[in-house]
Amino acid sequence: MEGAPSTYRTDAQLRAMMDMTGDWVVNNACGLIMSNIVPSLRDALKIAASYSGVRAISRLPPEGIIIFGGQMERLTVFLAATPIKGLSGAWDFKSG
């Protein structure tokens, strides 16, 4: 559909918007929402890491961004290796 916004963003674009406020949800293979709406991609990735059967993370319209498996994994690896501002060390996915 010409003129329709793309739902895809590069890894670099998503890393830049990691903490931008938005409405993010975690979806299963049927497209059903598995989580409450969370305010950042960082929070959505953390929730996705705690569930099995996650198919995608999506940002609700108007952006309508959809992030699938391989890209979710790359972003999770990036977060695990990146120190959080104001805290020492990287993000620990296991501690919640």
Is residue 62's pLDDT more than 60? yes
pLDDT band for 36, please (50, 70, 90 cuts).
very high
Mind listing the pLDDT tens digit for each residue in 75-94? 999 988 877 665 444 555 55
Contact 17, 41 (CB under 8 A): yes
Average model confidence (pLDDT) across the chain: 84
Q: State the CB neighbour count (10 A cutoff) for residue 1.
A: 4
Helical H runs in 17-65? 41-50
